[in-house]
């Protein structure tokens, strides 16, 4: 068998032709390397009694590329890569909105200052009880008390609203 460097020179047009027939337009260099690996494996596994090397090399290279394409396509299907516009929309959605804070404060009428702190920190800032306690320099049980009082009072407001309507 020939030296591998000579095979690369001789079979590079075949590798490029296979990539063209498979319509590979992304990751061109990666698939070229995959074709070289297929050629190398063909050189190692070739049995002269079973036919021509060029036919075996073609089948080996194309099979290796098809396997790599299948694997790449499955990966692309499973992984979500949002476009750049997605991140700007997401950023805008979470921007500071003073009207949102004022709306939340209207729902907190009738709550104590600490219960209102819990509602805003929990709903607007998405903080856990422990994070709220750390931010306010109080115990976790104190924040739990704020939460219980706020929920009780807000439920009462909702119930009263139902009876009015």
What pLDDT, on the 0 to 100 scale, is given for residue 15?
92
What pLDDT, on the 0 to 100 scale, is given for residue 103?
81
- Residue 124 φ/ψ, nearest 5 degrees: -85, -45
C-alpha separations of 8 from 87, 134, 143 in Å: 44, 64, 70
Residue by residue, pLDDT tens for the chain (165 residues) are: 568 888 889 999 999 999 999 988 888 899 999 999 999 999 898 888 888 888 999 999 999 999 999 988 887 777 776 666 666 665 544 456 666 778 888 888 888 999 988 888 888 888 898 999 999 999 999 999 999 998 888 888 878 877 776
Distance of CA 31 to the CA centre of its chain: 24
Cβ(38)–Cβ(64) below 8 Å: yes
C-alpha separations of 137 from 34, 44, 86, 124 in Å: 59, 70, 37, 19
Distance of CA 91 to the CA centre of its chain: 17
């Amino acid at each position: 068998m020939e030296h591998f460097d000579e095979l690369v020179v001789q079979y590079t047009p075949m590798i490029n032709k296979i990539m063209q027939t498979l319509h590979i337009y992304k990751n061109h260099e990666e698939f070229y390397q995959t074709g070289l690996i297929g050629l190398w494996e063909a050189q190692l596994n070739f049995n002269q009694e079973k036919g021509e090397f060029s036919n075996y090399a073609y089948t080996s290279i194309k099979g290796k590329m098809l396997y790599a394409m299948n694997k790449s396509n499955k990966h692309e299907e499973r992984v979500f890569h949002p476009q750049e516009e997605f991140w700007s929309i997401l950023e805008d959605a979470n921007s500071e909105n003073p009207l949102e804070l004022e709306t939340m404060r209207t729902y907190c009428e009738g709550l104590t200052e600490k219960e209102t702190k819990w509602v805003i920190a929990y709903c607007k800032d998405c903080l856990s009880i422990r994070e709220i306690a750390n931010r306010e320099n109080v115990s976790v049980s104190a924040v739990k008390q704020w939460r219980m009082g706020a929920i009780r009072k807000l439920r009462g407001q909702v119930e009263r609203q139902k009876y009015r309507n």
